[in-house]
Structure formats: structure tokens, C-alpha cells
């Protein structure tokens, strides 16, 4: 066997598990769900092709209003996460000494070593009526009786920002590390203020990381089920709960598949619009 054949065989052996994983676990299930979304049962119990699963979404206001509400809150969570992650990433990469940089990165990663369920329950312990925050507020005389801080949109957004922070911070940190410190020093020497330096040097340099993190955070928030359900309560009205109800509660897999693909179309359209507005290319962002 010559050298070129050996390289080809090694390439096939390397790519085969990846291709099988993509085809068997991603492509085929999605194709099956797509076909399922166009099937309904007629009055004789036979499965026929139809668009009624998609038409129901537009005919019932509760469905499209819930999807619109979910998208708006996903955008809000993405913006809040970006606003918090930018200074944190800059501080880790440019302010602290290299000795403490790894320590702070460990602090950033540490909460994500446990499952999302544990992290959400941690916030619920803090915010519930008999939780830690209410206990100290009453102890110091700031409250006369406990206040319910859970099961509203504010606590839900806070939980979503917390569970998404790592996915925004890591891409920005990786981009910030390549920023030349001499550019910031030269701007200071020329009399530029902090606001001007941020908007003219730091943020433009961090745009690929911001866009990459925003894509991940937006998609994870849009498809999140656990945090809105636990921290938002019964009135959270998150679209993934509608999908869950169709699959599990109603056993209507055809309708659930249609809702799932509508969510996929919305997220893809939002990402495409975001890339166009920022002038970024997907190939550059995902590096």
C-alpha cells in the first residue's frame, strides 16, 4: 500500500465516525420529524399529507404570540448577557495579571460543572419566599414579610442570563486575547477617553466573538425549556413548553414536529438577519 492510499484510508477512518454521528443522530431524525410535520390523520384514521399542522400555528393566536414572546425575550437575554460578558472578558484578558487569569477562568467555568437543573434550583433556593435573600432582608428589617421573587419574567430572564453567560464570555475572551495592548495605550496617550476606546477599539475588535456568542446564546435561550418552566412558572408562556405539551401531554407528534421546525426556521432567520446587520460571515464567526 503506497503513501497516498494510507492517507486516504486514515482520512476515511477519521471522517467515518463523524459522518455516521451527523447522519444517524442529526440528519435522519430531523428528516423524519420534517416528514411527520406534514402528516395528519383523516376521519378514517389514515395518515395523509397536509399543511394543517402549520396552519394551526397561524390560526391560534396563543401559538404565534407565544413564539413571538419567546423570540423577544431571547433577544433581551442575548443583549443582557453580552453587556455583562464584555467587561468581564476584558477584565480577565487585559486587566488582571496572568497569574490570576486562570483562577478567574476557573471561577467562570466552575458553575457549569454541574447540570443546569442544579444551577436553576440554586437560584430558586435564593429567591423563594423562605430563601436566603428574604431571610436576610427580614433579619435586617428591610422587609416585614417575605416577598415572592420567583415565578415572574424578571427572575426567568435572570436565570436565563446566568445559564448562558459562559457561552458568551468564552468566545469574547478568545477574541480579546488577540487585541494588541499597544492600541489601547496609544489611544490613552492621544487623549481618548474610556468610552471612545471601547467603541472605537475594543468592541470593533471583539465583534466576531460577540456575534459568535450571541448566536449560541440566542439559540440556547430560544430552545430552553427548564429555566423558563422552573423560574418563570405557569405564566412563562415559552414556546418550547408548547412543543413539549404537543409531544408529551397531547401525544400529537405531528403537531409537535411542526412547532419544532417553526422554531428552527425562526432561529435560523434571526441568525441570518444578525449576520447581515453586523456584516459578519458565518465561516469567520464559527472559527
- Position 164 scores a pLDDT of 92
Average pLDDT over residues 226-250: 87
Contact 158, 123 (CB under 8 A): yes
Separation between Cα atoms, residue 223 and residue 178, nearest integer Å: 32
pLDDT value for 282: 67
Residue 161 pLDDT exceeds 90: yes
Q: Does 279 or 170 have the greater pLDDT score?
A: 170
Mean pLDDT of 38-52: 84
- Span 31-41, average pLDDT: 90
Using alpha carbons only, how large is the chain's radius of gyration in Å?
Answer: 24
Residue 134 is predicted with a pLDDT of 86
**Predicted pLDDT at 220:** 93
The pLDDT, as a whole number, for residue 89 is 93
CA atoms lying within 13 Å on the CB side of residue 140: 6
pLDDT exceeds 60 at position 203: yes
- What's the pLDDT score for residue 260? 92
**In terms of CATH, what superfamily is 52-285?**
MetI-like (1.10.3720.10)
Nearest by Cα to 155 from 115, 125, 130: 125
45 Ramachandran zone, left/alpha/beta (phi>0; psi -120 to 50): left
Quote the pLDDT of residue 185: 87
- For 246-278, write each residue's pLDDT tens digit: 998 888 999 999 999 999 888 888 888 888 887
Which range in 4-18, 42-56, 119-133, 215-229 is most confidently predicted, on average pLDDT? Answer: 215-229
Q: What is the mean pLDDT of residues 58-72?
A: 92
What is the value of pTM for the model shown? 0.88
pLDDT tens-digit series, residues 97-142: 888 888 888 888 888 888 888 888 888 888 888 888 888 888 888 7
C-beta separation of 139 from 183 below 8 A: no
pLDDT of 144 higher than 70: yes
Q: What is the mean pLDDT of the chain?
A: 87
What's the CA gap between 48 and 29, in Å, rounded?
Answer: 20
Mean pLDDT calculated for residue range 21-45: 87
Check: CB of residue 195 under 8 Å from CB of residue 258. Answer: no
Short-list 162, 159, 161, 160, CA closest to 149: 159
Grade residue 2 by pLDDT with cuts at 50, 70 and 90: low
Amino acid at each position: 500500500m503506497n503513501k497516498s492510499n494510507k492517507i486516504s484510508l486514515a482520512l476515511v477512518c477519521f471522517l467515518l465516525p463523524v459522518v455516521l454521528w451527523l447522519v444517524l443522530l442529526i440528519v435522519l431524525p430531523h428528516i423524519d420529524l420534517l416528514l411527520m410535520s406534514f402528516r395528519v390523520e383523516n376521519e378514517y384514521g389514515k395518515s395523509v399529507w397536509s399543511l394543517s399542522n402549520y396552519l394551526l400555528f397561524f390560526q391560534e393566536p396563543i401559538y404565534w404570540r407565544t413564539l413571538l414572546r419567546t423570540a423577544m425575550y431571547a433577544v433581551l437575554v442575548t443583549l443582557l448577557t453580552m453587556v455583562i460578558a464584555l467587561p468581564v472578558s476584558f477584565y480577565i484578558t487585559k486587566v488582571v495579571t496572568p497569574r490570576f487569569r486562570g483562577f478567574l477562568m476557573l471561577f467562570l467555568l466552575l458553575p457549569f460543572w454541574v447540570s443546569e437543573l442544579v444551577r436553576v434550583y440554586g437560584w430558586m433556593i435564593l429567591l423563594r419566599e423562605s430563601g436566603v435573600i428574604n431571610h436576610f432582608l427580614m433579619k435586617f428589617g428591610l422587609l416585614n414579610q417575605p416577598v415572592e421573587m420567583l415565578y415572574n419574567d424578571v427572575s426567568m430572564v435572570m436565570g436565563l442570563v446566568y445559564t448562558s453567560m459562559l457561552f458568551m464570555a468564552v468566545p469574547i475572551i478568545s477574541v480579546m486575547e488577540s487585541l494588541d495592548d499597544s492600541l489601547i495605550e496609544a489611544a490613552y496617550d492621544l487623549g481618548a477617553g474610556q468610552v471612545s476606546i471601547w467603541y472605537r477599539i475594543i468592541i470593533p475588535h471583539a465583534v466576531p466573538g460577540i456575534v459568535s456568542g450571541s448566536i449560541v446564546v440566542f439559540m440556547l435561550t430560544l430552545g430552553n425549556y427548564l429555566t423558563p418552566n422552573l423560574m418563570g412558572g405557569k405564566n412563562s408562556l415559552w414556546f418550547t413548553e408548547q412543543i413539549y405539551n404537543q409531544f408529551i401531554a397531547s401525544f400529537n407528534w405531528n403537531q409537535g414536529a411542526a412547532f419544532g421546525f417553526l422554531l428552527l426556521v425562526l432561529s435560523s432567520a434571526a441568525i441570518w438577519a444578525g449576520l447581515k446587520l453586523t456584516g459578519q460571515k458565518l465561516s469567520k464567526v464559527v472559527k
